[in-house]
Structure formats: structure tokens, C-alpha cells
Amino acid sequence: MEVVESDGRSEFKDLAVKVLTCSEEEFYGKYFPQAVSSRFKFFGKKLSTCAITNAKSGKCPSDCKFCAQSSVSTAKINVYPLIEPEEIVRRAVFVSEFSERFSIVTSGISPNKEEIKKIGIAVEEIRKKIPKLKVCASLGFVKSEDLKFLKDCGLSRYHHNLETSESFYPKICSKQNWKDRVKQVEIAKEVGLEVCCGGIFGMGESEVEIAELLLTLSLN
């Protein structure tokens, strides 16, 4: 697929492809030192930690080929509905000794109102009990008003991956739309939440498609 870009986007993508396809010698001799230098410039020596809890598992109606939570997956996993707020809080207390963030993760395309309410109760209680612990969530597609509710409860960050590039996405999922994923990230930002957004590599995508994903992330 030929993509027409401007404002340095083509150069960005070309560089990303070069890094992904270069020899090991060139990578460690040229690109790795640049990456380390940039890391220290923007982040110093700090390492951020985030512990997650699988608060709802299995039976997702989507068909993402990489995901064991999908209803079409044959992976042997524990399947259970959303756990109670008290249990979510207990897990948060446990991880607070060694992590600065705690993320509530649920299976499914979108949580229902009752699930949003329970998650809000858990977030609020965690913030009261452990003020130093930052709380984030990965809940799929959530409406703006529900994200505002969770933010008011104390949620500080929302996680929603794009998974891969727009051109490769139809090869891994047929029941969700890639542009909707981008929109969900935008909605989270609009309500004032921090966002955590990335992708997955090794699903059969090309270096160019990886570069397309990186370009999208750099622009958003």
C-alpha cells in the first residue's frame, strides 16, 4: 500500500523501517546509542511500574486472533464475570508495596453500566485507602460520560491499544474498527485522562506496517 505523507511523516516512516530492517551491528552501533540518549534526555533513570489485575476474564464477543480472552479462542483460561469492588481493592493494596500504578483490566468490547459503577466504587475506595497509588484501567470502548464518571472517582489514566496499523488490522480482527480504536483514545484524552496506547508485534505484519503504527502513535 502506498501512503502519501507530508510534514516529515514520510521521513519518520523511512527511518522506522531502516531501524527495523538494519543489521545487528548497525543497530547497536548507530541507532541504539541514539535511543538510549533520548531516553535519558526525556525520562532520566526513572522506571515506571504498573501492576494489573484481570478483573473480568473470557467470553469476549470479539475475534481478535491474538487474544485468549476471545470467545473464539481455544486457549485454556479461567472465565469469570467482573469481580467485586472489595476484591479489586484487596489486590490494589497487595501491589501498592512494589508498584506506583494499578490497572483494572476487563475482557469484552464494552463494559455495561453496572460494571462501570462497580469499577468506579473500587477506584474511589483505592484512592481513599492508598492515595499514593495511581489507578488506571483498560476496559475497551467506554462512552465519554462513563470515562468522566471514572475520572471523578479517581481514575488517572486509560489504556487502549491500537493493536497494529490500520492497513493490517482487518487481518487480525473483523468485529471491531481500527478508526474506532483511535477515537476511543481521543475520547479519553478529551475528558482529561492520561492515555497509555501501543500495539502488538509479531502477528505477521510487515516492517512497513509496524512503521505505520509507530507513525500513528507519534501523531496522537
Note the pLDDT of residue 116. 98
| Residue 19: closest CA among 6, 10, 28 | 28
Alpha helices in 4-52 (DSSP H): 9-21, 24-26, 32-43
- Distance, in Å, from the CA atom of 188 to the CA atom of 162, rounded to the nearest integer, reads 14
What's the mean pLDDT in 46-66? 93
* pTM of structure: 0.88
Which CA distances in Å does 83 have to 77, 79, 119, 147, 167?
16, 11, 9, 20, 36
Number of Cβ within 10 Å of residue 5's Cβ equals 13
**Residue 212 near residue 2, CB atoms below 8 Å:** no
- Distance, in Å, from the CA atom of 28 to the CA atom of 35, rounded to the nearest integer, reads 10
Residue pLDDT, tens place only, 24-36: 999 999 989 988 9
Note the pLDDT of residue 7. 61
**Which of the four pLDDT bands, split at 50, 70 and 90, describes residue 125?**
very high
Note the pLDDT of residue 118. 98
**Which of the four pLDDT bands, split at 50, 70 and 90, describes residue 45?**
confident
Residue pLDDT, tens place only, 134-148: 999 999 999 999 999
| Residue 191: closest CA among 217, 220, 155, 164 | 155
What are residue 137's DSSP bridge partners? 104, 158
Instruction: Report whether pLDDT(5) > 70.
Output: no
Number of Cβ within 10 Å of residue 120's Cβ equals 19
